[in-house]
Structure formats: structure tokens, C-alpha cells
Amino acid sequence: MNIRRLVFKEIAYRKVNFALSVVCVAVAVASVVGAMVVLKGHDVRTGEILAAKGAETEKQMKALDGDVARSMLKLGFNVVVLPKDQNLGDWYADDFGAKYMPEEYVERLANSKIMTVRHLLPSLQQKLVWPETKRTIILIGTRGEVPNIHKSAKKPLIEPVAWGTIVVGYELHQSLELKADETVTLLGREFTIAKCHGERGNKDDITLWIHLGQAQEMLDKEGKISAILALECACAWADIAKVRQEICGLLPETQVVEKGSQAIARAETRKRVAEEATAAMEREKQFRGNLKRGRENFASVLVCVVIAACAFIVGALAYGNVRSRRWEVGVLRSMGYRSKQILGLFLSKAALTGVLGGLGGIVIGIASGVAGFGYLEGNGGETIGVSELFAGSYESWMILFVSIIVITPVFSAVASWIPSVAAVRQDPADILCTEGV
Amino acid sequence: MLEVTNISKRFVKDGIIIHALCGVDITVGSGEFVVVSGASGSGKTTLLLGASGLMRPDGGEVVIDGQRPYELADNARSGLLASKTGFVFQQFHLIPYLNVIDNVLVRSGAAGSRFRRGRGEELIGKFGLSERVKHYPAQLSTGEKQRVALARALYNEPKLILADEPTGNLDDENSRIVLGYLSEFAENGGAVLVVSHDSKVSEFAGRCIELECGKIVGEKVV
């Protein structure tokens, strides 16, 4: 007859007492495991929400990238290369230059290795009165895009105006009732209307575009241009200083100004959207963080209260059990049982209570934590799967569970320790006298 | 086998000092059946507990089979109790969650004991409890309970049996059966010290000691 057999026999005899103790330990463990499951579930769900938001933002950003690219393609010019002696105040006021530079500059720029500039459009511009119609117009001579030999061929943004043809701005063709393929006279020369532009709501509406060579002849500016419109790639929009530095380095007799560009506005809008998305992510993170802190605080209080209550109940049950078995202690001592053996009798029962309660508590804790998480998240009962819960943190869960299996017997033994030691330390003769030998 | 020399014991209860034993000397040799009788409060149980090594006296000396239990460490004293003595209580004190055979075999878990199922079954058979082996104390009569307690006390083949009012809860027939076993144990070389106020016990004892107010007031050899 060993202590183990005595323990099991006693447990079988006092089933209710033992079951209550196991349930108490299981509840205490379940509260810890349940809280851990809820908090882990919170982390997993937070990760999912942020990943979904991140993916959505990424998608929006890609869509915006497309929009910006399309906008850039249509809107074109970002910088204007002007002669160095051009008064910028006049240029900004009149929106065209009165100074000139060699047309050869555009060739030099096109043949350079400047990577930030993609599309080059030389032009000769002059504001004048259209003598045949008495209308003030802006005459632009353009030769189309000058190919850059160091870059891959791209579709030109603007088609050149053919010799002898003219493109007419909206206000002009509307007021003069001009139509495509008609013939108009400008400064004594006849031109066939190649195209009538739609309304743009800017100076383009009073502009006439002709071939650069013809404009140079008509304005007596052969080999001269007044500006090079440079359309740079989308990646350079945020670094205009670099574009300016590169061009001025190649063409010292020029100056570079930024063209008020809708593309930049769009890019800024895109940036703001990105910032807003980031802010939204931060707000979500903050919300989830606050929610987690609230849950942690609640869980820590709940767990402490539950553990304290369960420890008290386990202790009280142990005390009651020891108290009702005092005479048994006296009898066993009279038979020659050592005090350590009798202490082992009570503490091994407590340890077994802890092991069973710990195992039960783990199962109950996972189940209640999973169910409780679904309730707390309020997603119509949608909760976290056990596999999702363990994914990526299997080892830490195992460490927790092993710790519980180790700690709960100690926890139960500690709760039973005082009454057990008190009973064992008591003089067996006192017990036997008190119990009415 | 048992030598109790000049032992004294006092208790303090509600500030009043009670002298339970005052210089009592008792010797119980092998093959002797000694009964200590006296009125309630005369110090019988205190004498028995003191003589058994379970209650340290304030003064005097106790020697069991040549060993002084109160001078031994806890483990050694437990070993002495397990191997040399057997205790029988008035209330039987059978362990309620163990059946008859386990209540006898429970002594095998004590210090220095070994598990001998055959010995347990032999004692159960000897005391006429073979049909009750699997029964629990709650299913036994008082006489059967005391016989189980006696079997438990004898399991380790002790040299000294100490019994406190062993017939206190038994009818005449069962009292005689139990006393007969104790007498038989003494005849076989064992030492028996019984405290009782039951006059029947004296019929089986070889020597009777009268205790009064913690002192021996009379002794007679039967």
C-alpha cells in the first residue's frame, strides 16, 4: 500500500470535493488561457484588418499611378527652357517669351544623356495681331517632338504641324466660324486648317499653331526659338531642382522654369491620398491598440480576480479536506507513517488536482476564448479558427501550456500547503485525544 | 518490552494546570497482558499515548524494546512505531475509503514496512472476516470493525500492542472475542498494554494496575 494508492482511493471516495477542486483550477487556468486566446485573436484580426487596408491602399495607389501617368501623357509639359535673358516677370505675365535662343539648343539637349527629360518640344512664340482678322493671337511655331537618341523610342506626345497647315484654338475658330480643311490667310500666307481644338479655357483658345520653319520665316527669326517645352517622366516630378540643374549645366545660356502643371497637382493629390491612407492605417492601428489595451486591462483584472477566487476556494476545499481527515493523520502517524509521507498524501492529491485542472482549463480556455472572441469582435459570431490561432506561434503556445501543466500543480499544492503542513505538524497524540481515542 | 519510568505529564487548560500523570512507573514484559483501569480523567489515555511514543511526557523515560522513542528523530521514531508497536482505538479509526483488506495493508506503507498481501489475508481469515474482504468500514458491524483494527495492528508483527478502551463500543460477545485475540497475542510472546474501565478486560489480563489522578494506586497480579 503506497501513498499513490491511498491518494487515488481517497479521491474516489471524496469525488465531489476533488471534482470541485479540479473545476476551480480549470476555471482559473481557463481564464488565463481564454484571455490569451482573445488577445492573440485580437492581434491576428488586427493583422488581417491592417493587411486588408494596406492592400486596398496599394490598389488605390496603383490606380492613382495609372491616373497620373495618363494625366502626364495628356498634359505634358512640366518645365520650360527659356533664354537666360528672358525676363521672367514678362514671361509669367504674357505666358510667352520675347527673347530667343538658337534652335540648335534642342538638338544639344536631345543628344545629351540627361535622363530626367523625356520629351522635348521646341517652339517659337509671339503675340501679335492677326492682320487679316484684326484679332490678337498667339502664334506658335512648332516642329513636334525632337527624338532623344539615348532613350527608347516613345510615341510622341504631340504630333508636328505639317508645313502649310494650321491648327486653330477654340475661341478663334468659334468666333471666326472656321472649320477644318478650310483655308485661312495669316500674315499674307495661306494655310489649310488641319485641326480645330476643343475648348481648353486658357490661352490655347486664342492660339494658332503652324510649322516652326514657317513661323521662323514669317517672324524673321530663322534658326531661333523662344522656348523648349520639356516633358519629364513621372518619377522626376518631385525633384524639379535636379531637372533644372541638369539642363542649365548643359545649356548655360538658358534658364528653366516650372510650368504650372496639373500633373504635379495630381501627384500631390496622390501624395495626399497616400498620406490619408497612411493616416487611416494609423487611426485603425491606434483604435485596435486602444481596444487591445482595454481588453488587456479587463483581462488582467478578471484573471486576477478569478485566480484569487479559485485559489481561495481550492485552499478552502483543501482545508476542509485536511480538517475532516485530521484523525486519519493521527492514525497514520500512530502506525509509523512519517510526516513527509503524510504531507505527500495531501500535496500529491493537490498536484493531481492541478494537473487535471490545468489540462481541462487549457481545453476550456481555448474553447471559451475562441467563442468569447467572436462575441467581443461582434462580427455576427465570426471568430478565429484554432489553426489560425496557433499559426506562427505554435512554440509560444506550447511553452504556455507546458508552463500551465507545471505551474498549476504547484499552484494547487501551495493552496493546500498551509492546512496540510498544519495537520502534519500537529502532535498525533493531540489529534487522537481531540478526536476521542 | 515496555519500560515506563517515572513519567509525568501536565496540561494547562483555561489557565489551570492539570497534572495528568505524576511519576508513573509501568513495565510490560514479553508475554504479559497488562490492564490499566481507572475512572474517566484518571490519566489512562495520557499514560497509553506517552508509553506508545506518541505523546512526549514532561518528565520520565519510556523505553520500547530497548529504544527510547523520544530521543529518536522523526523517521527513526516512525520506524520504531511501525515495527514494534500496534495501536487499537476505541473508535476503531478504520480509513473509510479503504476496504477491509486495504485497511489492514495500509500499515505496509509505514516506514520500514513491506507489502505482504498474504499476511493481510491470513489475519483477515484468522479474525473471521474472509467474507468481508471487499467491504468498506461503513458496511461492517462494530465488532467486525474492531477485529479489522486488531488485524491492522498485528500486520507488522509488533512486539507490543497498545489498546485504548478496545471493548468500549462492543457488546459482550465481541468484547470477549477481541480480548481473546489480545490474550492469545500475549500468550505467543507479545506484550499487551490495555487501558480500560471495562471489568471484563481484567478477566483476560495477567496484571491489573489501578490509576487515580495520574498516580498508580494499586496493582494486582491475576
pLDDT in tens, A131-184: 999 999 999 999 877 766 555 545 444 567 899 999 999 999 999 999 999 999
Predicted local confidence at residue A234, as pLDDT: 45
Predicted local confidence at residue B138, as pLDDT: 92
Predicted local confidence at residue B139, as pLDDT: 93
The C-alpha atoms of residue A133 and residue A172 are separated, in whole angstroms, by 10
Predicted local confidence at residue A433, as pLDDT: 67
The C-alpha atoms of residue B29 and residue B24 are separated, in whole angstroms, by 16
> Any residues with CB less than 8 A from the CB of A12 and at least 6 apart, and which?
B97
> How many separate domains does chain B show?
1
- The count of C-alpha atoms lying within 13 angstroms of the C-alpha of A219, restricted to the half-sphere facing its C-beta, is 28
**Environment class of residue A402 by beta-carbon count within 10 Å: exposed (0-12), middle (13-18) or buried (19+)?**
exposed
The C-alpha atoms of residue A49 and residue A18 are separated, in whole angstroms, by 45
B111 pLDDT exceeds 70?
no
B164 pLDDT exceeds 50?
yes
Predicted local confidence at residue A174, as pLDDT: 93
* Mean pLDDT computed over B101-117: 83
* SS3 letters across chain B: CEEEEEEEEEEEECCEEEEEEEEEEEEECCCCEEEEECCCCCCHHHHHHHHHCCCCCCEEEEEECCECHHHCCHHHHHHHHHHHEEEECCCCCCCCCCCHHHHHHHHHHCCCCCCCHHHHHHHHHHCCCHHHCCCCHHHCCHHHHHHHHHHHHHCCCCCEEEEECCCCCCCHHHHHHHHHHHHHHHHCCCEEEEECCCHHHHHHCCEEEEEECCEEEEEEEC
Q: Retrieve residue A378's grid coordinates.
A: 461582434
Predicted local confidence at residue B208, as pLDDT: 92
* Cβ-based contacts of B107 with chain A (< 8 Å): 1, 335-336
Q: Using one digit for the tens of pLDDT, what is the confidence trace for B177-210?
A: 888 888 999 999 999 999 988 888 888 888 999 9
Q: Using one digit for the tens of pLDDT, what is the confidence trace for B35-50?
A: 999 888 888 888 998 8
For residue B31, the enclosing domain spans: 2-221
Q: Using one digit for the tens of pLDDT, what is the confidence trace for B169-184?
A: 878 888 888 888 889 9
Predicted local confidence at residue A296, as pLDDT: 81
Helix (H) or strand (E) holding A99: none
Residues in chain A with pLDDT < 70?
64-78, 95, 115-118, 147-159, 231-240, 260-271, 378-383, 433-437
Predicted local confidence at residue B27, as pLDDT: 93
| CATH value at residue B155 | 3.40.50.300
B97 to A271, A328, B54, B153: CA distances (angstroms)? 80, 11, 25, 18
- Of the candidates B123, B178, B186, B140, the one whose C-alpha atom is nearest the C-alpha of residue B159 is B186
* Cβ-based contacts of B115 with chain A (< 8 Å): 1
B→A interface, C-beta within 8 Å: 45, 49, 52, 54-56, 74-75, 78-83, 85, 87, 89-91, 93, 95-98, 102, 105-113, 115, 152, 156, 164
Q: Does residue A135 sit in helix, strand or coil?
A: strand
Chain A residue with minimum CA distance to B49: A429
Predicted local confidence at residue A77, as pLDDT: 45
B15 pLDDT exceeds 90?
no
A339 touches B at CB < 8 Å:
yes
* Cβ-based contacts of A12 with chain B (< 8 Å): 97
Contact between B163 and B88 under an 8 Å Cβ cutoff? The reply is: yes
Predicted local confidence at residue A269, as pLDDT: 65
* Mean pLDDT computed over B77-92: 86
* Mean pLDDT computed over B24-36: 93
The C-alpha atoms of residue B85 and residue A258 are separated, in whole angstroms, by 112
Predicted local confidence at residue A380, as pLDDT: 56
Query: A436 and B79: CB-CB below 8 Å?
Result: no
Task: Please report which residue ranges of A176-261 form alpha helices under DSSP H.
Answer: 212-218, 240-250
> Any residues with CB less than 8 A from the CB of B168 and at least 6 apart, and which?
B90, B196, B198
B58 pLDDT exceeds 70?
yes
